[in-house]
């Protein structure tokens, strides 16, 4: 081949690539736009109809014009008509008093924030977040907000990842800052590792909470105290805890294939006895902070394997041999408001 | 395939006496553009990967962290293998092509990968590709450039490379803005850039065969590559200096963390630290490379570490946050401009021609491995002393190491180089 033929061949390849990528982008763009203008499959109902009764608040993930907005269904009819609130959140946590909503605003400098909304879905406060939203929870009376994001530098010589988990008062006020700055006690010893990460807060009350602490490749379930600024380990190998409504049990993810891959399943631990039950027939490869539907049942979101971006909310009894059931289609990040 | 010399004006250019007039040859520009296209591809994916994995694939920080860890460690290991293959076959172009190709193939699978395991495999393949291609590519730059202009040539290459790294995220977010939630569009466009890079190298890249050319020029064919060539008396002091300085080079991550710890700055700025450092690097790569050609590459390599000492100090000394941030990022960019391409420029000429790629790979591996040790060690130091004292300590040690290394500069810069 002469130099000219090679140059020509290169130009042909580039033109072919530009055309192929262009056609794909335009087609995909059109398809996404068509999807995003379609009406949701699920029947709809006005928000007013579900404000007073016990309900489940979640992120709607159907590929339609309500994609990503927060929806509400009655607790006694989770598969029924859903009410769309107009608030768009990546992660959402709700109480009767208000809502914590984590938002991503993509752009060259993608920004993230936590918005606090009142019971009528009006914004009362917002704070920038230092990274990609991962978890949020409210305290039982709705006065405290916990957020977990993960901070990652993109590009070139970047390395590693880090979480940032913060607690602050709903609507502004006291900020406890990054929980990594709290005193950490693991297995009875005060430690101060540089590689620590804290994530997945669940509140017991306005002082005590549970969370995950990780260092040196291991994870712990820790009990935190906001006044004393301490984190004390309860037991090892537990991630993303969720405290049951009666405060007696904690459900969390455990890696059942440690060392090789990360395959999470749900386990439930009795706080009084320390006895741990693995939900043997529960979801494998779950990656969500679970939520309690009631004192015996657990809720969690699971991505659909065949439809990127679409997730469903499942429920499973907190027993060793319970089978999961599909509870709400096209849903993510569920919280129960009683 | 036999290629006549007429097909490659570059060769004439570098052997003709007029070569000094255009020191940055076509080879450097072509390879720079290959790197630019490839970096647009890889950085557009890295920019959206955290969002894609968490929002679409549904992975958490931990799973992502494991994948990100894989992203880093793998490439140092395969680098020497790529160097050996390139020297043994005397075909750096096609070994580099294999590396670029492997990374492009990984992009295809990323489109279909779901779940942590699949994505980990894809990311690992991508990094293996990077490990294989780097040294042969640098050897081609080295072989196609007159010795006196090597620093500038590598500067130009690294500048183009970094422009790609800066454009990648920009392109990704413009696409996401045009097609909301269109992560697959970003992946497809990224694949197109990767394939264009591979095609550019395959079709227009120079098939430099240093050993054969050497035979045509001077008569006897140089002997085939032997591992013993890497123990060359000229290369050893460079490896020693790189190792010594590498042991005191802690990861950027730590410097940025110290910067965050030192001031009351929002963690929100963390990703922008990388952007700032890249920008400084991009602007300084060529001027610092030219300076290296003028005053001596080993001198610039060693003195560049003083910029790193400055960055360590800047990140912890009490000044205004703005001054500390700008100073640290600028000094860090200077450090990369003075070291990254310069090491390759030096190493390629301190071994016989038949070992050029392996020589470069050896130096780059020493740098990568010692820096990994440095970061692990510094983690403990940080734990024992706290960020401020730990940074001051490593800054003092590095300053001492630079003084020690400076005693070797004359020997390195005046060593007899392979043409």
Closest chain A CA to residue B44? A155
Residues 6+ apart with CB under 8 A from B116: A261, A262, B59, B63, B66, B67
pTM as predicted: 0.82
Given an 8 Å threshold on Cβ–Cβ distance, is B185 in contact with A29? yes
What is the signed CA dihedral for B254, B259, B263, B269, rounded to 10 degrees? -100
Q: What's the maximum distance between 2 C-alpha atoms anywhere in chain A? A: 80
- Cβ of B181 and A161 within 8 Å? no
| Inter-chain touch A32–B179, beta carbons under 8 Å | yes
Question: Residue B251 contacts by C-beta under 8 Å, 6 or more apart in sequence?
Answer: A157, A159, A160, B371, B374, B375, B378
ipTM: 0.82
Distance from CA of A16 to the nearest CA of B (A): 9
Interchain contact, A18 vs B379, CB within 8 Å: no
Residues with Cβ < 8 Å from B342, sequence gap 6 or more? B151, B154, B288, B289, B292, B297, B300, B301, B304
Q: How far is B184 from chain A (nearest CA, A)?
A: 8
Which of B65, B192, B195 faces A161 most closely, judged by CB atoms?
Answer: B65
Sheet with A239-243: strands ordered across: A239-243, A249-255, A264-270, A276-278
Give me the residue from B7, B47, B203 closest to A9, CB to CB.
B203
The CA distance from A170 to A115, in Å, is 10
Q: What does the mean pLDDT of chain A come to?
A: 90
Instruction: Show the tokens assigned to B87.
Output: 């020297």
Q: Which of residues 197-256 of A touch B (CB under 8 A)?
A: 197, 199, 214, 219, 239-240
3-state secondary structure of B295: helix
Distance from CA of A33 to the nearest CA of B (A): 8
Q: Which residues of A touch B134 (CB under 8 A)?
A: none
Owner of token pair 């991630």: A239
B396: left (phi over 0), alpha (psi -120 to 50) or beta: alpha
How far is the alpha carbon of A114 from chain B, nearest alpha carbon, in Å? Answer: 13
Beta bridge partners of A189: A186
For residue B171, what is the nearest residue in chain A, using CA coordinates?
A108
Taking only the tens place, the pLDDT of each residue in A269-318 is 999 999 999 999 989 888 889 999 999 999 999 988 777 778 999 999 99
Give the number of other CB atoms < 10 A from CB of residue B209: 17
- Is B253 close to A160, i.e. CB distance below 8 A? yes
Residue B334's Cα: distance from chain center in Å?
14
Cα–Cα distance, A84 to A300 (Å, whole number): 20
User: Can you give the pLDDT at residue A242?
Assistant: 97
Task: Nearest chain A residue to B276 by CA: give it.
Answer: A155
A158: left (phi over 0), alpha (psi -120 to 50) or beta: beta
What distance in Å separates the CA atoms of residue A225 and residue B344, rounded to the nearest whole number? 53
Sheet with A144-151: list strands edge to edge.
A132-138, A144-151, A162-169, A175-178
Q: Are residues A132 and B256, on separate chains, in Cβ contact within 8 Å? A: no
**pLDDT average, residue stretch A73-102:** 94
Distance from CA of B153 to the nearest CA of A (A): 21
Residues of B in Cβ contact (< 8 Å) with A17: 192, 195-196, 199
Residue B288: what are its φ and ψ, rounded to 5°?
A: -70, -35
Q: Is the pLDDT of residue A52 over 90?
A: no
Distance between CA atoms of residues A223 and A194, nearest Å: 20
Cβ contacts below 8 Å, chain A against chain B, sum to 197
Q: Is the dihedral of CA A55, A58, A60, A66 positive or negative?
A: positive
Q: Beta A230-236 vs A183-186: how paired, if at all?
A: parallel
**Most B CBs within 10 Å: which of A160, A162, A180, A288, as the mutation test of the B interface?**
A160
Sign of CA dihedral A232, A235, A237, A240: negative
- Which tokens in the block code for residue B81? 């293998």
Other beta carbons less than 10 A from residue A40's beta carbon? 18
Contact (CB, 8 A) for B59 and A287: yes
* Helix, strand, coil abundance in chain A, percent, nearest 5: 10, 45, 40
Residues of B in contact with A153 (CB under 8 A): 253, 256, 270-271, 273-274
C-alpha B278/C-alpha B300 separation (Å) is 19
d(CA A99, CA B93): 58
In the DSSP assignment, the letter for residue A125 is: E
Place of tokens 């590598």: B154
Q: In degrees to the nearest 10, what's the CA dihedral of B327, B332, B333, B335?
A: 130
| Residue B68 confidence (pLDDT) | 53
Q: Which residue has the tokens 């020693």?
A: B240
The residues, any chain, with a CB within 8 Å of residue B374's CB and separated by 6 or more, are B246, B247, B248, B249, B250, B251
Residue A92 and residue A136: Cα distance in Å, rounded? 7
CA dihedral in degrees (B308, B310, B315, B318; nearest 10)? 170
Nearest-neighbour CA in chain A from B43: distance (Å): 6
CB contact under 8 A, B58 and A287: yes
CA atoms within 13 A of residue A309's CA, in its CB half-sphere: 16
Q: Does residue A156 surpass a pLDDT of 70?
A: no
| Beta-strand pair A291-292/A239-243 | unpaired
B78-87 b/e (C-beta count within 10 Å ≥ 16 → b) = bbbbbbbbbb
DSSP designation for B227: G
Residue with tokens 């590009």: A155
d(CA B45, CA B162): 15
Residues of B in contact with A311 (CB under 8 A): 58
CB contact under 8 A, A110 and B274: no
pLDDT at res. B6: 35
CB atoms within 10 A of CB B287: 13
Alpha carbon of residue A157 to chain centroid: 28
d(CA A74, CA A66): 18
Alpha-carbon span A193 to B177, nearest angstrom: 40
pLDDT of residue B58: 67
User: Can you give the pLDDT of all 419 residues of chain B as single tens digits?
Assistant: 333 333 334 444 444 444 444 557 899 999 999 999 999 999 888 878 877 777 776 666 556 555 555 555 566 778 889 999 999 999 999 999 999 999 999 988 888 776 666 777 787 888 889 999 999 999 999 999 999 999 999 999 999 999 999 899 889 888 988 888 788 899 999 999 999 999 999 999 988 888 887 777 777 777 778 778 888 889 999 999 999 999 999 888 788 878 877 766 665 666 678 888 989 999 999 999 999 999 999 999 999 999 999 999 999 888 888 888 899 999 999 999 999 999 999 999 999 888 999 999 999 999 988 888 887 788 778 878 888 899 999 999 999 999 999 998 888 888 888 87
The CA-to-CA distance between both ends of chain B, in Å, stands at: 26
Tokens coding A178: 């990054």
CA B342 to mean position of chain CA atoms? 10
3-state secondary structure A79-94: CCCEEEEEEECCEEEE
Which tokens is B395 given?
A: 């800054």
**Which residues on chain A are in Cβ contact (under 8 Å) with B184?**
28, 308
DSSP assignment of A187-207: TTEEE--TT-EEEEEEESSSS
**In the prediction, which pLDDT does A284 show?**
87
Q: Is A128 on the interface with B (CB under 8 A)?
A: yes
Closest CA to B418 of B342, B359, B341, B340: B359
A259 has a chain B CB within 8 A of its CB: no
Interhelix angle B116-143/B150-178, nearest 10 degrees: 150
Q: Chain B closest CA to A24's CA: distance in Å?
A: 7
With an 8 Å Cβ cutoff, are A111 and B251 in contact? no
B16 contacts: CB under 8 Å, gap ≥ 6:
none
> Residue A76: helix, strand or coil by DSSP?
coil
CA angle in degrees (0–180, nearest 5) for A161-A164-A165: 145
What was the pLDDT predicted at B19? 43
Does B50 contact A154 at a Cβ distance shorter than 8 Å? yes
User: Which segments of B52-113 does DSSP mark as H helices, in order?
Assistant: 61-89, 92-112
Comparing alpha-carbon positions, the chain A residue that sits nearest to B188 is: A21
pLDDT in tens, A202-233: 999 999 999 999 887 789 999 999 999 999 99
């Amino acid at each position: 081949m002469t130099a000219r033929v090679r140059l020509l061949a290169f130009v042909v390849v580039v033109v072919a690539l530009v055309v192929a990528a262009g056609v794909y982008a335009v087609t995909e763009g059109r398809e996404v736009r068509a999807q995003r203008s379609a009406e949701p499959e699920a029947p709809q109902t006005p928000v007013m109809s579900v404000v007073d009764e016990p309900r489940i608040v979640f992120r709607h993930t159907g590929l339609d014009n309500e994609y990503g907005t927060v929806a509400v269904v009655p607790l006694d009819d989770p598969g029924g008509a859903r009410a769309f609130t107009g608030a768009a959140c990546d992660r959402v946590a709700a109480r009767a008093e208000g809502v914590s909503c984590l938002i991503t605003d993509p752009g060259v400098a993608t920004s993230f924030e936590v918005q606090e909304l009142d019971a009528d879905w009006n914004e009362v406060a917002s704070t920038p977040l230092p990274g990609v939203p991962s978890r949020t929870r409210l305290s039982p009376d709705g006065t405290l907000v916990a957020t977990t994001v993960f901070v990652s530098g993109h590009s070139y010589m970047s390395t590693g990842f880090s979480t940032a988990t913060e607690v602050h008062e709903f609507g502004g006020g006291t900020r406890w800052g990054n929980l990594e700055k709290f005193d950490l006690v693991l297995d009875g010893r005060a430690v101060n590792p540089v590689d620590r990460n804290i994530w997945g807060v669940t509140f017991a009350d306005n002082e005590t909470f549970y969370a995950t602490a990780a260092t040196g490749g291991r994870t712990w379930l820790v009990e935190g105290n906001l006044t004393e600024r301490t984190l004390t380990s309860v037991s090892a190998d537990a991630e993303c805890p969720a405290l049951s409504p009666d405060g007696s049990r904690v459900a969390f993810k455990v890696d059942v294939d440690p060392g090789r891959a990360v395959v999470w399943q749900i386990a439930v631990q009795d706080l009084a006895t320390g006895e741990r039950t693995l939900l043997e027939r529960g979801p494998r490869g779950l990656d969500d902070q679970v939520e309690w539907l009631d004192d015996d049942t657990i809720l969690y979101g699971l991505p659909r394997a065949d439809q990127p971006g679409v997730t469903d909310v499942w429920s499973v009894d907190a027993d060793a041999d319970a089978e999961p059931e599909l509870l709400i289609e096209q849903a993510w990040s569920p919280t129960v408001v009683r | 395939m036999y290629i006549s010399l007429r097909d490659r004006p570059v060769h004439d250019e570098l052997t003709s006496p007029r070569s000094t007039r255009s020191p940055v040859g076509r080879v450097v520009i072509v390879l720079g553009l290959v790197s630019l296209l490839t970096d647009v591809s890889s950085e557009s994916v890295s920019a959206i990967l955290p969002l894609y994995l968490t929002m679409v694939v549904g992975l958490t920080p931990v799973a992502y962290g494991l994948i990100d860890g894989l992203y880093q460690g793998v490439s140092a290991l395969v680098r020497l293998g790529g160097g050996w293959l390139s020297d043994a076959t005397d075909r750096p172009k096609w070994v580099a092509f294999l590396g670029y190709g492997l990374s492009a193939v990984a992009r295809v699978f990323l489109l279909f990968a779901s779940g942590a395991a699949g994505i980990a495999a894809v990311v690992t393949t991508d990094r293996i590709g990077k490990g294989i291609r780097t040294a042969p590519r640098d050897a081609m730059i080295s072989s196609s450039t007159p010795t006196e202009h090597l620093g500038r040539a590598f500067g130009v290459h690294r500048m183009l490379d970094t422009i790609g790294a800066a454009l990648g995220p920009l392109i990704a977010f413009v696409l996401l803005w045009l097609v909301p939630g269109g992560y697959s569009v970003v992946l497809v466009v990224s694949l197109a850039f990767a394939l264009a890079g591979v095609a550019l190298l395959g079709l227009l890249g120079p098939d430099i065969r240093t050993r054969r050319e050497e035979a045509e020029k001077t008569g006897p064919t140089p002997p085939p590559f032997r591992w013993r060539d890497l123990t060359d008396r000229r290369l050893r002091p460079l490896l020693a200096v790189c190792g010594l300085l590498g042991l005191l080079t802690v990861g950027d991550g730590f410097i940025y963390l110290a910067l965050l710890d030192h001031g009351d700055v929002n963690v929100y700025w963390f990703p922008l630290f990388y952007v700032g450092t890249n920008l400084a690097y991009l602007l300084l790569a060529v001027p610092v490379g030219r300076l290296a050609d003028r005053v001596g590459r080993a001198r610039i390599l060693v003195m560049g570490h003083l910029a790193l000492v400055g960055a360590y100090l800047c990140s912890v000394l009490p000044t205004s946050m703005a001054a500390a941030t700008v100073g640290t990022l600028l000094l860090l960019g200077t450090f990369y401009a003075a070291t990254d391409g310069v090491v390759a420029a030096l190493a390629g000429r301190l071994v016989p021609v038949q070992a050029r790629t392996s020589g470069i790979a050896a130096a780059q591996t020493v740098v990568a491995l010692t820096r990994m040790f440095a970061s692990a060690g510094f983690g403990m130091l940080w734990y024992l002393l706290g960020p401020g004292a730990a940074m001051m300590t490593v800054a003092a040690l590095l300053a001492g190491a630079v003084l020690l290394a400076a005693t070797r500069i004359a020997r390195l810069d005046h060593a007899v180089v392979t043409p």
